[in-house]
Copies of this chain bind each other. A is one copy, B any other.
Amino acid sequence: MSFTILSKDKETAARLGVIETQHGSVPTPVFMPVGTQGTVKALTHRTVEELGADIILGNTYHLYLRPGHELIREFGGLHKFISWNKPILTDSGGFQVFSMSDLNKVTEEGVKFSSHIDGSKHMLTPEKSIEIQQALGSDIIMAFDECTPYPATEQQTLESLNLTTRWAHRCRDAFNKESGSLLFGIVQGGMFPTLRTKSSHELQEIDFDGFALGGLSVGEPKDLMFEIIDHTVPTLPEGKPHYLMGAGMPADIVKAVALGIDMFDCVLPTRNARNGYVFTESGKMIIKHAKYRMDSNPLDIDCQCYTCRNFSRAYLRHLFQSGEITAAILLTIHNLYFYLDLIRQIRESLQSGNFYEWYKENLPRYEEGYKG
Protein backbone atom coordinates (compact mmCIF):
# COMPACT_ATOMS: atom_id res chain seq x y z
CA MET A 1 0.00 0.00 0.00
CA SER A 2 1.65 3.22 -1.14
CA PHE A 3 -0.78 5.64 0.55
CA THR A 4 -1.96 5.65 4.13
CA ILE A 5 -4.55 8.00 5.58
CA LEU A 6 -3.51 8.86 9.11
CA SER A 7 -6.52 10.91 10.05
CA LYS A 8 -9.60 12.52 8.53
CA ASP A 9 -11.02 15.91 9.43
CA LYS A 10 -14.51 15.74 10.96
CA GLU A 11 -15.86 18.93 9.44
CA THR A 12 -14.35 18.86 5.96
CA ALA A 13 -13.04 16.34 3.44
CA ALA A 14 -9.43 17.09 4.44
CA ARG A 15 -7.12 14.15 5.23
CA LEU A 16 -3.68 13.72 6.74
CA GLY A 17 -1.69 10.99 5.07
CA VAL A 18 1.61 9.69 3.83
CA ILE A 19 2.71 8.41 0.43
CA GLU A 20 5.50 5.83 0.40
CA THR A 21 7.89 6.00 -2.54
CA GLN A 22 11.18 4.41 -3.48
CA HIS A 23 12.98 7.52 -2.28
CA GLY A 24 11.16 7.96 1.00
CA SER A 25 7.91 9.08 2.55
CA VAL A 26 5.89 12.12 1.52
CA PRO A 27 3.55 13.48 4.20
CA THR A 28 0.29 14.83 2.79
CA PRO A 29 -1.16 17.33 2.20
CA VAL A 30 2.04 18.20 0.34
CA PHE A 31 3.26 21.10 -1.76
CA MET A 32 5.77 20.10 -4.44
CA PRO A 33 8.19 22.81 -5.61
CA VAL A 34 8.60 22.80 -9.36
CA GLY A 35 12.06 21.81 -10.61
CA THR A 36 11.34 22.07 -14.30
CA GLN A 37 14.77 21.36 -15.77
CA GLY A 38 16.34 19.46 -12.89
CA THR A 39 16.56 22.29 -10.38
CA VAL A 40 14.14 24.48 -8.50
CA LYS A 41 14.89 27.81 -10.17
CA ALA A 42 17.33 30.09 -8.30
CA LEU A 43 17.98 27.56 -5.53
CA THR A 44 20.43 24.80 -4.75
CA HIS A 45 19.06 21.44 -3.62
CA ARG A 46 20.52 22.04 -0.20
CA THR A 47 18.33 25.12 0.21
CA VAL A 48 15.27 23.30 -1.12
CA GLU A 49 15.81 20.54 1.44
CA GLU A 50 16.38 23.02 4.26
CA LEU A 51 13.12 24.74 3.34
CA GLY A 52 11.43 21.44 4.06
CA ALA A 53 10.49 20.16 0.63
CA ASP A 54 9.73 16.45 0.75
CA ILE A 55 9.35 15.98 -3.00
CA ILE A 56 10.00 18.03 -6.13
CA LEU A 57 8.44 17.96 -9.57
CA GLY A 58 10.35 17.51 -12.81
CA ASN A 59 9.00 18.30 -16.28
CA THR A 60 9.12 15.46 -18.77
CA TYR A 61 8.80 17.76 -21.78
CA HIS A 62 11.81 19.89 -20.76
CA LEU A 63 14.03 17.02 -19.65
CA TYR A 64 13.20 15.00 -22.76
CA LEU A 65 14.28 17.88 -25.00
CA ARG A 66 17.30 18.83 -22.87
CA PRO A 67 19.46 17.06 -21.78
CA GLY A 68 17.44 14.08 -23.09
CA HIS A 69 16.09 11.07 -21.20
CA GLU A 70 18.65 8.70 -22.70
CA LEU A 71 21.47 10.75 -21.20
CA ILE A 72 19.70 10.79 -17.84
CA ARG A 73 19.08 7.04 -18.11
CA GLU A 74 22.81 6.50 -18.62
CA PHE A 75 23.46 8.44 -15.41
CA GLY A 76 21.16 6.02 -13.58
CA GLY A 77 18.09 8.23 -13.57
CA LEU A 78 17.11 11.76 -12.69
CA HIS A 79 17.87 11.42 -8.97
CA LYS A 80 21.47 10.54 -9.72
CA PHE A 81 21.85 12.99 -12.59
CA ILE A 82 20.71 15.94 -10.49
CA SER A 83 21.91 14.56 -7.11
CA TRP A 84 18.53 14.79 -5.38
CA ASN A 85 17.80 11.84 -3.13
CA LYS A 86 14.24 12.58 -2.08
CA PRO A 87 11.14 11.69 -4.13
CA ILE A 88 10.48 13.16 -7.57
CA LEU A 89 7.17 13.36 -9.41
CA THR A 90 7.25 13.91 -13.15
CA ASP A 91 4.42 15.21 -15.26
CA SER A 92 3.58 13.48 -18.52
CA GLY A 93 4.82 16.21 -20.84
CA GLY A 94 1.32 16.67 -22.20
CA PHE A 95 0.63 20.05 -20.66
CA GLN A 96 3.86 21.59 -22.03
CA VAL A 97 3.35 20.01 -25.44
CA PHE A 98 0.01 21.76 -25.63
CA SER A 99 1.13 25.06 -24.07
CA MET A 100 4.78 25.61 -25.04
CA SER A 101 5.68 23.82 -28.20
CA ASP A 102 4.76 24.60 -31.76
CA LEU A 103 1.97 22.02 -31.81
CA ASN A 104 1.68 20.12 -35.03
CA LYS A 105 -1.09 17.58 -34.65
CA VAL A 106 -3.04 15.54 -32.10
CA THR A 107 -4.00 12.06 -33.34
CA GLU A 108 -5.17 8.86 -31.75
CA GLU A 109 -1.53 7.82 -31.69
CA GLY A 110 -0.27 10.87 -29.79
CA VAL A 111 0.95 14.41 -30.31
CA LYS A 112 3.35 15.68 -32.95
CA PHE A 113 5.14 18.86 -31.96
CA SER A 114 8.19 21.01 -32.64
CA SER A 115 10.66 21.80 -29.87
CA HIS A 116 10.50 25.34 -28.48
CA ILE A 117 14.30 25.23 -28.26
CA ASP A 118 15.38 24.34 -31.77
CA GLY A 119 12.22 23.57 -33.76
CA SER A 120 13.13 19.89 -34.09
CA LYS A 121 10.15 17.57 -34.66
CA HIS A 122 9.03 15.05 -32.05
CA MET A 123 6.14 12.74 -31.27
CA LEU A 124 4.88 12.20 -27.76
CA THR A 125 2.59 9.21 -27.21
CA PRO A 126 1.33 7.54 -24.04
CA GLU A 127 3.98 4.86 -24.49
CA LYS A 128 6.74 7.39 -25.12
CA SER A 129 5.77 9.51 -22.11
CA ILE A 130 5.89 6.47 -19.83
CA GLU A 131 9.18 5.35 -21.37
CA ILE A 132 10.72 8.76 -20.71
CA GLN A 133 9.42 8.96 -17.16
CA GLN A 134 10.69 5.46 -16.41
CA ALA A 135 14.07 6.35 -17.86
CA LEU A 136 14.07 9.30 -15.50
CA GLY A 137 13.30 6.89 -12.65
CA SER A 138 10.53 9.12 -11.38
CA ASP A 139 8.89 8.05 -8.11
CA ILE A 140 5.46 9.19 -9.25
CA ILE A 141 4.72 8.95 -12.96
CA MET A 142 1.75 10.77 -14.49
CA ALA A 143 -0.35 9.28 -17.28
CA PHE A 144 -0.26 11.10 -20.62
CA ASP A 145 -3.56 12.93 -21.04
CA GLU A 146 -5.15 15.53 -23.25
CA CYS A 147 -5.73 18.70 -21.24
CA THR A 148 -9.17 19.84 -22.45
CA PRO A 149 -9.04 23.57 -23.16
CA TYR A 150 -11.45 26.11 -21.66
CA PRO A 151 -13.99 26.85 -22.93
CA ALA A 152 -15.02 23.66 -24.73
CA THR A 153 -18.42 22.30 -25.70
CA GLU A 154 -19.78 19.19 -24.02
CA GLN A 155 -19.16 17.22 -27.21
CA GLN A 156 -15.54 18.41 -27.48
CA THR A 157 -15.01 17.66 -23.81
CA LEU A 158 -16.47 14.17 -24.17
CA GLU A 159 -14.28 13.33 -27.14
CA SER A 160 -11.24 14.67 -25.32
CA LEU A 161 -11.90 12.69 -22.16
CA ASN A 162 -12.52 9.54 -24.20
CA LEU A 163 -9.10 10.01 -25.78
CA THR A 164 -7.61 10.54 -22.31
CA THR A 165 -9.22 7.28 -21.15
CA ARG A 166 -7.87 5.33 -24.13
CA TRP A 167 -4.43 6.89 -23.56
CA ALA A 168 -4.68 6.02 -19.84
CA HIS A 169 -5.06 2.32 -20.73
CA ARG A 170 -2.05 2.54 -23.04
CA CYS A 171 -0.04 4.25 -20.27
CA ARG A 172 -0.91 1.48 -17.83
CA ASP A 173 0.07 -1.16 -20.40
CA ALA A 174 3.37 0.55 -21.11
CA PHE A 175 4.17 1.01 -17.43
CA ASN A 176 6.56 -1.43 -15.82
CA LYS A 177 5.20 -2.00 -12.34
CA GLU A 178 8.40 -3.81 -11.37
CA SER A 179 10.17 -0.48 -11.54
CA GLY A 180 8.78 0.44 -8.15
CA SER A 181 7.44 3.74 -9.43
CA LEU A 182 3.85 4.79 -8.79
CA LEU A 183 1.53 5.61 -11.68
CA PHE A 184 -1.21 8.23 -11.39
CA GLY A 185 -4.17 8.77 -13.71
CA ILE A 186 -5.53 12.19 -14.64
CA VAL A 187 -9.26 12.91 -14.53
CA GLN A 188 -10.52 15.16 -17.32
CA GLY A 189 -14.09 16.15 -18.22
CA GLY A 190 -13.79 19.91 -18.35
CA MET A 191 -16.49 21.90 -16.60
CA PHE A 192 -19.15 19.19 -16.95
CA PRO A 193 -19.81 17.30 -13.70
CA THR A 194 -21.30 14.27 -15.46
CA LEU A 195 -18.22 14.04 -17.67
CA ARG A 196 -15.91 14.39 -14.65
CA THR A 197 -17.77 11.46 -13.07
CA LYS A 198 -17.45 9.46 -16.29
CA SER A 199 -13.71 10.13 -16.52
CA SER A 200 -13.22 9.33 -12.85
CA HIS A 201 -15.05 6.00 -13.13
CA GLU A 202 -13.31 4.98 -16.34
CA LEU A 203 -9.89 5.68 -14.84
CA GLN A 204 -10.72 3.66 -11.74
CA GLU A 205 -11.13 0.61 -13.94
CA ILE A 206 -7.42 0.96 -14.56
CA ASP A 207 -4.91 0.11 -11.86
CA PHE A 208 -3.62 3.55 -10.83
CA ASP A 209 -1.86 4.42 -7.57
CA GLY A 210 -3.35 7.90 -7.37
CA PHE A 211 -5.56 10.32 -9.23
CA ALA A 212 -4.99 13.85 -10.42
CA LEU A 213 -7.51 16.47 -11.44
CA GLY A 214 -6.39 17.84 -14.80
CA GLY A 215 -7.88 20.50 -17.04
CA LEU A 216 -8.35 23.00 -14.20
CA SER A 217 -6.71 26.41 -13.71
CA VAL A 218 -6.98 26.75 -17.49
CA GLY A 219 -8.82 30.07 -17.51
CA GLU A 220 -12.15 29.14 -15.91
CA PRO A 221 -13.59 31.23 -13.04
CA LYS A 222 -12.32 30.20 -9.60
CA ASP A 223 -15.83 29.36 -8.38
CA LEU A 224 -16.32 26.97 -11.26
CA MET A 225 -12.98 25.31 -10.54
CA PHE A 226 -14.01 24.68 -6.94
CA GLU A 227 -17.41 23.37 -8.03
CA ILE A 228 -15.65 20.83 -10.22
CA ILE A 229 -13.20 19.87 -7.46
CA ASP A 230 -16.07 19.57 -4.98
CA HIS A 231 -17.97 17.38 -7.41
CA THR A 232 -15.06 15.23 -8.57
CA VAL A 233 -13.12 14.36 -5.41
CA PRO A 234 -16.00 12.30 -3.91
CA THR A 235 -16.07 10.21 -7.11
CA LEU A 236 -12.42 9.20 -6.52
CA PRO A 237 -11.34 6.28 -4.36
CA GLU A 238 -10.82 7.59 -0.86
CA GLY A 239 -7.79 5.42 -0.25
CA LYS A 240 -5.71 6.88 -3.09
CA PRO A 241 -3.93 10.27 -3.19
CA HIS A 242 -5.81 13.15 -4.84
CA TYR A 243 -3.60 15.60 -6.74
CA LEU A 244 -4.73 19.03 -7.99
CA MET A 245 -2.26 19.80 -10.77
CA GLY A 246 -0.78 23.27 -11.16
CA ALA A 247 -2.61 25.00 -8.27
CA GLY A 248 -2.52 27.53 -6.88
CA MET A 249 -2.74 30.67 -4.79
CA PRO A 250 -2.58 30.24 -0.98
CA ALA A 251 -6.38 30.39 -0.57
CA ASP A 252 -6.81 27.85 -3.39
CA ILE A 253 -4.61 25.38 -1.56
CA VAL A 254 -6.42 25.85 1.73
CA LYS A 255 -9.83 25.41 0.09
CA ALA A 256 -8.75 22.43 -1.98
CA VAL A 257 -7.39 20.64 1.09
CA ALA A 258 -10.81 21.09 2.69
CA LEU A 259 -12.30 19.43 -0.40
CA GLY A 260 -10.03 16.40 -0.04
CA ILE A 261 -6.99 17.27 -2.16
CA ASP A 262 -3.68 15.83 -0.93
CA MET A 263 -1.07 17.06 -3.41
CA PHE A 264 -0.21 20.38 -5.03
CA ASP A 265 2.44 21.78 -7.32
CA CYS A 266 2.70 25.32 -8.58
CA VAL A 267 5.27 27.65 -10.13
CA LEU A 268 3.79 30.71 -8.41
CA PRO A 269 6.12 30.92 -5.39
CA THR A 270 9.25 30.56 -7.49
CA ARG A 271 8.21 32.43 -10.65
CA ASN A 272 6.65 35.30 -8.72
CA ALA A 273 9.78 35.63 -6.59
CA ARG A 274 11.86 36.26 -9.70
CA ASN A 275 9.35 38.96 -10.67
CA GLY A 276 9.53 40.63 -7.25
CA TYR A 277 6.09 39.40 -6.12
CA VAL A 278 6.31 38.35 -2.49
CA PHE A 279 3.83 36.15 -0.61
CA THR A 280 3.25 37.34 2.97
CA GLU A 281 0.82 36.47 5.73
CA SER A 282 -0.84 39.84 5.20
CA GLY A 283 -1.06 39.59 1.43
CA LYS A 284 0.99 40.20 -1.67
CA MET A 285 3.93 42.58 -1.67
CA ILE A 286 5.45 44.08 -4.82
CA ILE A 287 8.98 44.64 -3.62
CA LYS A 288 9.93 47.29 -6.17
CA HIS A 289 7.33 49.75 -4.82
CA ALA A 290 8.89 52.99 -3.61
CA LYS A 291 7.26 52.64 -0.20
CA TYR A 292 9.75 49.88 0.67
CA ARG A 293 12.77 52.07 -0.14
CA MET A 294 13.54 52.83 3.51
CA ASP A 295 11.63 49.95 5.08
CA SER A 296 13.78 48.18 7.64
CA ASN A 297 11.22 45.44 8.34
CA PRO A 298 11.62 41.91 7.02
CA LEU A 299 9.31 40.85 4.18
CA ASP A 300 7.00 39.10 6.63
CA ILE A 301 7.24 40.16 10.26
CA ASP A 302 6.98 36.73 11.88
CA CYS A 303 8.52 34.64 9.12
CA GLN A 304 11.39 32.40 10.15
CA CYS A 305 12.99 31.96 6.74
CA TYR A 306 16.65 32.87 6.12
CA THR A 307 15.63 35.94 4.13
CA CYS A 308 13.31 37.32 6.81
CA ARG A 309 15.66 36.52 9.67
CA ASN A 310 18.44 38.52 8.03
CA PHE A 311 17.35 41.12 5.49
CA SER A 312 15.18 44.21 5.25
CA ARG A 313 12.64 45.07 2.59
CA ALA A 314 14.82 48.06 1.71
CA TYR A 315 17.84 45.83 1.02
CA LEU A 316 15.80 43.29 -0.94
CA ARG A 317 14.21 46.10 -2.95
CA HIS A 318 17.69 47.44 -3.68
CA LEU A 319 18.92 44.04 -4.86
CA PHE A 320 15.82 43.58 -7.03
CA GLN A 321 16.09 47.05 -8.56
CA SER A 322 19.78 46.42 -9.21
CA GLY A 323 18.99 43.22 -11.11
CA GLU A 324 21.05 41.10 -8.71
CA ILE A 325 20.66 37.31 -8.97
CA THR A 326 20.80 37.35 -5.17
CA ALA A 327 17.37 39.05 -5.19
CA ALA A 328 15.93 36.08 -7.06
CA ILE A 329 17.58 33.71 -4.58
CA LEU A 330 16.41 35.51 -1.43
CA LEU A 331 12.85 36.13 -2.67
CA THR A 332 12.53 32.53 -3.87
CA ILE A 333 13.69 31.30 -0.46
CA HIS A 334 11.00 33.38 1.20
CA ASN A 335 8.15 32.52 -1.17
CA LEU A 336 8.89 28.83 -1.12
CA TYR A 337 9.18 28.90 2.67
CA PHE A 338 5.78 30.62 2.73
CA TYR A 339 4.16 27.84 0.69
CA LEU A 340 5.89 25.01 2.52
CA ASP A 341 5.06 26.59 5.86
CA LEU A 342 1.44 27.01 4.80
CA ILE A 343 1.13 23.32 4.00
CA ARG A 344 3.00 22.47 7.22
CA GLN A 345 0.48 24.51 9.22
CA ILE A 346 -2.32 22.66 7.45
CA ARG A 347 -0.77 19.29 8.32
CA GLU A 348 -0.25 20.32 11.93
CA SER A 349 -3.86 21.44 12.27
CA LEU A 350 -5.00 18.12 10.81
CA GLN A 351 -2.68 16.29 13.18
CA SER A 352 -4.09 18.10 16.20
CA GLY A 353 -7.66 17.76 14.95
CA ASN A 354 -8.43 21.46 14.57
CA PHE A 355 -8.10 21.94 10.81
CA TYR A 356 -11.55 23.49 10.48
CA GLU A 357 -10.77 26.09 13.16
CA TRP A 358 -7.49 26.84 11.42
CA TYR A 359 -9.35 27.06 8.10
CA LYS A 360 -11.97 29.50 9.37
CA GLU A 361 -9.36 31.64 11.07
CA ASN A 362 -6.88 31.83 8.18
CA LEU A 363 -8.76 31.44 4.90
CA PRO A 364 -10.31 34.95 4.92
CA ARG A 365 -6.86 36.49 5.29
CA TYR A 366 -5.47 34.51 2.34
CA GLU A 367 -8.52 35.38 0.25
CA GLU A 368 -8.37 39.06 1.15
CA GLY A 369 -4.60 39.49 0.79
CA TYR A 370 -4.33 38.28 -2.79
CA LYS A 371 -7.28 39.87 -4.52
CA GLY A 372 -6.77 41.30 -7.97
Taking a contact as CB atoms under 8 Å apart, the answer to whether A324 and B74 are in contact is no
Most chain B beta carbons < 10 A, residue from A74, A274, A306, A311: A311
| Copies of this protein, total | 2
Known: A293-B71, A325-B328, A329-B329. A318 touches B38 (CB 8 A): yes
Taking a contact as CB atoms under 8 Å apart, the answer to whether B44 and A326 are in contact is yes
Please give the distance in Å from A199's CB to the nearest CB on chain B: 34
| B residues near A45, Cβ cutoff 8 Å | 310
Would you call A177 an interface residue if the criterion is a C-beta within 8 Å of the partner chain's C-beta atoms? no
| B residues near A6, Cβ cutoff 8 Å | none
Would you call A312 an interface residue if the criterion is a C-beta within 8 Å of the partner chain's C-beta atoms? yes
Known: A45-B310, A67-B293, A293-B71. A325 touches B325 (CB 8 A): yes
Please give the distance in Å from A41's CB to the nearest CB on chain B: 6
| B residues near A328, Cβ cutoff 8 Å | 325
Taking a contact as CB atoms under 8 Å apart, the answer to whether B326 and A41 are in contact is yes
Taking a contact as CB atoms under 8 Å apart, the answer to whether A81 and B310 are in contact is no
A328 to B44, CA, bound (A): 10
Our pick among B74, B81, B82, B322 for the contact of A66 (Cβ within 8 Å) is B322
Taking a contact as CB atoms under 8 Å apart, the answer to whether B42 and A325 are in contact is yes
Our pick among B38, B83, B306, B315 for the contact of A310 (Cβ within 8 Å) is B83
Within 8 A of B (CB), among A221-261: none
